[in-house]
């Protein structure tokens, strides 16, 4: 019988594909920022034994479980339109708050009830953490 993690993984990746298609139809482009992440702390500690480092990617985390992707968002520079050949369009890299992030986050969450968007995340003080480029699926209480 398939595990719950496997059942989510086979839904997650097609959801990512759908998000990319949606963004492309809206004129946006993505590149991948971060996907599957092993516990990098293990490797850093072995290469540099004196370093005290904590991993942002726990073994039960979304990236480790292949249920999270961070994406880089690019939008056409002002004044460019559909009449410009795709390979000649110049893009701006959107790294801060932008209405397109909100639109993509809303769309992502509409694809599955367990989909989570980093633009909604808050720290322990209740402040937004501005992780706009993070798209994940909740598993085991981890977003």
* pLDDT per residue as tens, the chain (143 positions): 779 989 999 999 999 999 999 999 998 999 988 766 655 555 444 544 544 434 444 455 677 788 889 899 999 987 666 677 777 888 999 999 999 999 999 999 999 999 999 899 887 888 888 888 999 999 877 66
Q: What is the pLDDT of residue 94?
A: 94
**CB 106 within 8 Å of CB 128:** no
CB 94 within 8 A of CB 74: yes
> 72 with 32: CB under 8 angstroms?
yes
Global pTM value: 0.79
Topology (CATH) of 4-137:
Muramoyl-pentapeptide Carboxypeptidase; domain 2 (3.30.1380)
């Amino acid at each position: 019988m398939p595990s719950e993690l496997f059942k989510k993984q086979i839904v997650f990746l097609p959801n990512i594909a759908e998000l990319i298609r949606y963004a492309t139809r809206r004129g946006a482009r993505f590149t991948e920022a971060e996907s599957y992440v092993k516990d990098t702390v293990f490797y850093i500690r072995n290469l540099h034994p004196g370093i005290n480092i904590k991993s942002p990617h726990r073994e039960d985390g979304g990236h480790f479980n292949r249920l999270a992707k961070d994406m880089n968002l690019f939008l056409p520079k002002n004044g460019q339109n559909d009449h410009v050949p795709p390979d000649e369009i110049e893009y701006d890299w959107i790294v801060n708050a932008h209405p397109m992030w909100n639109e993509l986050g809303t769309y992502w969450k509409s694809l599955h009830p367990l989909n989570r968007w980093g633009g909604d995340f808050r720290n322990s003080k209740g402040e937004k953490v501005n992780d706009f480029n993070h798209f994940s699926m909740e598993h085991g209480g981890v977003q």
